Amino acid sequence: MDTNRFDMEGLDIAWCPGCGNFAILRALKEALSELEIEPEKLVVVSGIGQAAKAPHYYRCNLFNGLHGRSLPVATAIKAVNPDLVVIDESGDGCMYGEGGNHFIHAIRRNPDITNLVHNNMVYGLTKGQASPTSPQGFKTLVQREGVFHEPFNPLAIAITLGASFVARAFAGDIAQTKEIIKKGIAHKGYALVDILQPCVTYNKLNTYQWFKSKTYYLDESHNPHDRLGALQKAWETEKLPLGIFYLNPKPAFEEMLSVYQERKNPLPQRSPDLKKLADWIQSKRGG
């Protein structure tokens, strides 16, 4: 398996040693290689944060947006050129906090993008404040008495809104994370892959050992087309299920755009009809 074509040689990767981001980086590179996706056909979009640095470490097209604002950009890129593989990769704070409203409406629109969320349950870039997914009781330098809010449940939200693909992975299991990512990329429509990953610097509670003891994989008895069953799994907290929770196939956003109803080729590949344009200009001039 050749992952070298996605490597950016000589880069100093600015993550703490042991960070779960390294494992996600490797899992995605392996997934892209096995799917035989070419770097020039790949666009990785992100917001702001430690996870959002990930696109800097792939040889591909990339776009760094504002904090929480990556999903509209990813949706637009896919709409303009549906031939591209578009991956939106950011952290739980960026995606579910600052970007929460865009998260909801990306689910509604169903663009054919893969949304990888590095979920370490803390703000790792800005020195360890609680994030939307931090567990109750979690103490930080800001939340000194512990978090008292119920954590945001992205899987439950996505399933409730009828997302077309909802999954959860664990960075400590690269092989299974890679397989889940591959299925997300191959899926036609919006694919959410929430990836549990330790922050070795600011989150001393949700460690690799904690995740290993508190997670399990969904087996063949789970029906991913059963919405209520998937929702029940999303609310489990004693142990956190991993795998594909919910599948809801439906037309992707860009397939519904009128500009592609008659002509399927992407907009960048089209040549303007100069005669039609001249006729239109002439009509506007009253001639």
Average pLDDT estimate for 189-206 = 94
9: pLDDT confidence band, cut at 50, 70 and 90? Answer: low
Q: Is residue 131 part of a domain?
A: yes
Q: What is the pLDDT of residue 2?
A: 63
* CATH number (domain holding residue 68): 3.40.50.970
Cα separations in angstroms, 92 against 3, 168, 222, 257, 273: 26, 13, 26, 30, 45
- Domain enclosing residue 229, as ranges: 4-261
- In this model, does residue 3 exceed pLDDT 90? no
- Whether 175 has a pLDDT exceeding 60, the answer reads yes
Average pLDDT score, the chain: 91
How many helices and strands (H and E) does the chain possess? 9, 8
Burial of 237 (0-12, 13-18, 19+ CB in 10 A): exposed
User: Binning pLDDT at 50, 70 and 90, where does residue 8 land?
Assistant: low
Q: How does residue 212 score in pLDDT terms, banded at 50, 70 and 90?
A: very high
Has residue 1 got a pLDDT over 70? no
Residue at 140 is within a domain: yes
Task: Please give the pLDDT value at position 17.
Answer: 92
**In a domain? residue 190:** yes
Cβ neighbour number for residue 80 with a 10 Å cutoff: 14
Each as own residue / partner, the long-range contacts of residues 53-58 (CB below 8 Å, 24 or more positions apart, any chain) are: 53/14, 53/15, 53/21, 54/21, 54/24, 54/25, 54/28, 54/89, 54/118, 55/89, 56/8, 56/11, 57/8, 57/11, 57/13, 57/25, 58/6, 58/8, 58/25, 58/28, 58/29
Q: Of 4-13, 39-48, 154-163, which gets the smallest average pLDDT? A: 4-13
Q: Which two tokens stand for residue 272?
A: 């303007």
Residue 275, domain member (yes or no): no
> What predicted TM-score, i.e. pTM, was given to this entire model?
0.90
Q: Is residue 281 part of a domain?
A: no
Taking 70 as the threshold, does the pLDDT of residue 89 lie above it? yes
In a domain, 93, yes or no: yes
Task: Please report whether residue 278 resides in a domain.
Answer: no
Say if residue 163's pLDDT is above 70: yes
- In this structure, is residue 56 part of a structural domain? yes
- Quote the number of domains for the chain: 1
pLDDT computed for residue 78 by the predictor: 96
- pLDDT of amino acid 208: 95
